[in-house]
Amino acid sequence: EAGVAQSPRYKIIEKRQSVAFWCNPISGHATLYWYQQILGQGPKLLIQFQNNGVVDDSQLPKDRFSAERLKGVDSTLKIQPAKLEDSAVYLCASSKPGRSSHEQFFGPGTRLTVL
Amino acid sequence: QQPVQSPQAVILREGEDAVINCSSSKALYSVHWYRQKHGEAPVFLMILLKGGEQKGHEKISASFNEKKQQSSLYLTASQLSYSGTYFCGVGNNYGQNFVFGPGTRLSVLP
């Protein structure tokens, strides 16, 4: 089965510019996560979707970050405007829904550098 | 609240054993373990659920002490391929509010 797809793989932008990342989860996985991973740290959950509804966005900096998951499949994460501290790898993951916790399958990530 | 992992880093020779610990200040319903190699995405190893259910890896085992709010990952007879950073992750009973620990860097030397 195909894994989680993300694009682009790398992005370099100037501060105050905008950027968008795309994620296509594993087919049939209703739960989708966006993580930010700064070098040397663990992934930090930004937003979690169940189908096209937001389950958790408590750590999403909503003044500059936004995410959507139209039709409950693909998702887009946007940063507008970017700051230097946004330089990180942005990981998308998906999992099956359910009352118990399920393993998360991660995409390859998008490495963002903000200059 | 982020779980605490220990040790921060460990260096082993091939064939040696290691234990990585994960503890949380809040009640645990599930504990995930992932391994991440340099420049790659995290890869699932194991889930431990409240009530004793486990799903995971053949060669790696783990324990989950709900009372102490702790989990330990046991790597026995380590191989070079075990090198990487190990993260525990904790969530509520619906797999929400997921938080990863800071990671434990494991290096296995020949």
Tens digits of per-residue pLDDT, B77-92? 999 999 999 999 998 7
What gap in Å lies between CA A73 and CA B89, rounded to an integer? 24
Q: Is the pLDDT of residue A99 over 70?
A: no
Confidence check: pLDDT of A74 > 90: yes
pLDDT, residue A72, reads 83
pLDDT band at B56 (very low <50, low <70, confident <90, very high): low
Decide if pLDDT at A101 tops 90.
Answer: no
Averaged pLDDT of chain B = 89
What per-residue confidence (pLDDT) applies to B51? 66
- Mapped onto helix, strand or coil, the DSSP state of residue A89 is strand
**pLDDT-based confidence at B65, cuts 50/70/90?**
confident
- Examine the pLDDT at A109 and tell me if it is beyond 90: yes
The answer to which of A59-68, B6-15, B49-58, B63-72 has the lowest mean pLDDT is: B49-58
Q: Which of A41, A99, A107 sits opposite B41 (nearest CB)?
A: A107
Return the residue of A nearest to B39 by Cα: A108
Poorest-confidence range of A1-5, A16-20, B54-58?
B54-58
- What proportion of chain A, given as a percentage, has pLDDT over 90? 83
Cβ of residue B57 closer than 8 Å to a chain A Cβ: no
pLDDT at residue number A86: 97
Question: Min CA distance, A105 vs chain B (Å)?
Answer: 7
- CA B66 to chain centroid, in Å, comes to 15
pLDDT at B26: 82
CB contact under 8 A, A103 and B98: no
Write out chain A residues lying below 8 Å of B41, CB-based: 91, 106-109
> Taking a C-beta distance cutoff of 8 angstroms, is the pair A112, A86 a contact?
yes
Q: Under an 8 A CB cutoff, do A48 and B98 touch?
A: yes
Quote the CA–CA distance of B13 and B17 in Å, as a whole number. 9
CB B73 within 8 A of CB B44: no
